[in-house]
Structure 1
Amino acid sequence: MRNIKNIRMDYRGISKKIIELKNKDLELRDALIKDGQLGEDYNEEMEKLHNRNAEILNEIIDTIGYPTIDKVGKEASESAWLVIQHSIGQPNFMRKCKKLLEIVVNEKKANPMNLVYLTDRIASFEEKPQLFGTQFDWDENGQLSPKPFDDLTKVNRRRKSIGLNTLEEQTEIMRRRVKNENQSLPTDLEKRKKELKKWKRRVGWTK
């Protein structure tokens, strides 16, 4: 009986730790928004936090497997996904989590929408077309737009099948969001694009 109780206590502690990782992430993001620093280059402090969170979560996953709802609860499971989604400097970790998430989603132990967003995010960083159009960035016209996707009709069909709005509707929502958050257009889009390519090669997204 004591062993079962200890295991339960461990899961509660792990759940709390995962939620703390998510909260630190969002707190820093809010601070950067207030300072008008979100929207330019990948903030150095944020990159360090994302990498550190990924390291801690990876240790947790190696211990308990993917943090499913039945193990850590809904809030912590969603928090784990957000940490994974923001671990953009750790491509191998994100790919590893995608494979694990595919398994637990099939077992109905995690939110399938999380797999949709993670799949698109990885595809975008690998410079492959998105399937659902969930990832956005500034385009050459200075507008926030979906990153490359395969076909608008197919994307909207896929989005509808999982309960999402159309890509056109989501684009308007995203543009209003960055405006409300005072996210400003990067001062030099071409320079940002080149630096992003270098960064993707450096961390291992592309060759």
Structure 2
Amino acid sequence: MNFKSIAKKMIRLKNADLQLRDELIRKGELGNGYHEEMQALHHKNAEILNEIIDSIGYPMAEKVGQEAADAAWMVIQHAIGKPHFMRKCLKLMEDSAPISHAERINIAYLSDRIAVFEGRPQLYGTQFDWDENGQLSPNVYDDLNQVNERRKLLGLNSLEDQTALIRSRARKENQHAPADLEQRNKEMEAWKKSVGWII
């Protein structure tokens, strides 16, 4: 099995994702719902990565190198229209041994993202969305002290500090809250049902 060529393929998937994101930011089209072009790319990348995983198992850093492992995680994190795939990957990551520190952080982010899409509180406060004040705020979490304790165990900053960083990045990228947040949230709920996150 040629892990080097597989690693290069996964890195290309990540680079295509980042390039499209940059283009959408430049055009001011990021944040106005799930952009069709972005959705199509995320689906395609997930299908390619799923074939790789079915062939070699979960692409841990020991197999494909850290850059490719990080690329695979990003593709998984962005495969939001593929609930089964994201859940499958989380289980594979959790069942892998040994799990590095970086992989523990990736598991925290992925488990939070899945929880948010399933309508459950997140445990690490890694997922953010626009609030009624037009600010990016953490999605629902269970308890601030517990979230900060879990984040500390992973070597992450506090949720308060992370919130400030996320908002600062959004300003630099000229991201804005949706014009009609209530309508956008209704559309998001309908989308979650349509792809199978919720019934």
The alignment's TM-score, normalised by the length of structure 2, stands at: 0.97
Specify which of 127, 135, 144 is matched with residue 143 of structure 1: 135
Tell me what 1:107 maps to. 98
Distance, in Å, in 1 between the alignment partners of 2:172 and 2:27 is 14
User: How far did residue 70 of structure 1 move?
Assistant: 1.2
Tell me what 1:29 maps to. 21
Distance, in Å, in 1 between the alignment partners of 2:99 and 2:35 is 36
* Secondary structure of residue in 2 paired with 1:111: helix
1:1-50 CA-to-partner distances (Å, cap 9, x unmatched) read xxxxxx3xx21110000000000000000000000011111000000000
1:139-168 CA-to-partner distances (Å, cap 9, x unmatched) read 111111000000011101111111111101
* Secondary structure of residue in 2 paired with 1:142: coil
Alignment-mate amino acid for residue 39 of structure 1:
G
Asked whether the equivalents of residues 134 and 176 of structure 2 are also in contact (C-alpha less than 8 Å), the reply is no
Tell me what 2:149 maps to. 157
- Count how many residue pairs are aligned between Structure 1 and Structure 2: 198
Asked whether the equivalents of residues 30 and 175 of structure 2 are also in contact (C-alpha less than 8 Å), the reply is yes
Runs of at least 5 residues in structure 1 that lack an aligned partner in the other structure:
1-6
Distance, in Å, in 1 between the alignment partners of 2:126 and 2:145 is 15
Tell me what 1:68 maps to. 60
Q: Does 1:171 align with 2:163?
A: yes
User: How far did residue 108 of structure 1 move?
Assistant: 2.6
Q: Where do residues 40-79 of structure 1 align in structure 2 (5 Å cutoff)? A: 40-79=32-71
Asked whether the equivalents of residues 138 and 163 of structure 2 are also in contact (C-alpha less than 8 Å), the reply is yes
Alignment-mate amino acid for residue 66 of structure 1:
Y
Distance, in Å, in 1 between the alignment partners of 2:166 and 2:68 is 25
Runs of at least 5 residues in structure 2 that lack an aligned partner in the other structure:
none
Asked whether the equivalents of residues 129 and 137 of structure 2 are also in contact (C-alpha less than 8 Å), the reply is yes
Percent identity over paired residues:
60
Distance, in Å, in 1 between the alignment partners of 2:191 and 2:72 is 24
Q: Does 1:199 align with 2:199?
A: no
* Secondary structure of residue in 1 paired with 2:129: strand
Distance, in Å, in 2 between the alignment partners of 1:153 and 1:70 is 34
Specify which of 88, 91, 99 is matched with residue 96 of structure 1: 88
Question: Larger Rg: 1 or 2?
Answer: 1
* Secondary structure of residue in 2 paired with 1:187: coil
* Secondary structure of residue in 2 paired with 1:39: coil
Distance, in Å, in 1 between the alignment partners of 2:167 and 2:62 is 36
Specify which of 159, 172, 186 is matched with residue 180 of structure 1: 172
Distance, in Å, in 2 between the alignment partners of 1:180 and 1:85 is 23
Root-mean-square deviation over aligned CA pairs: 0.9
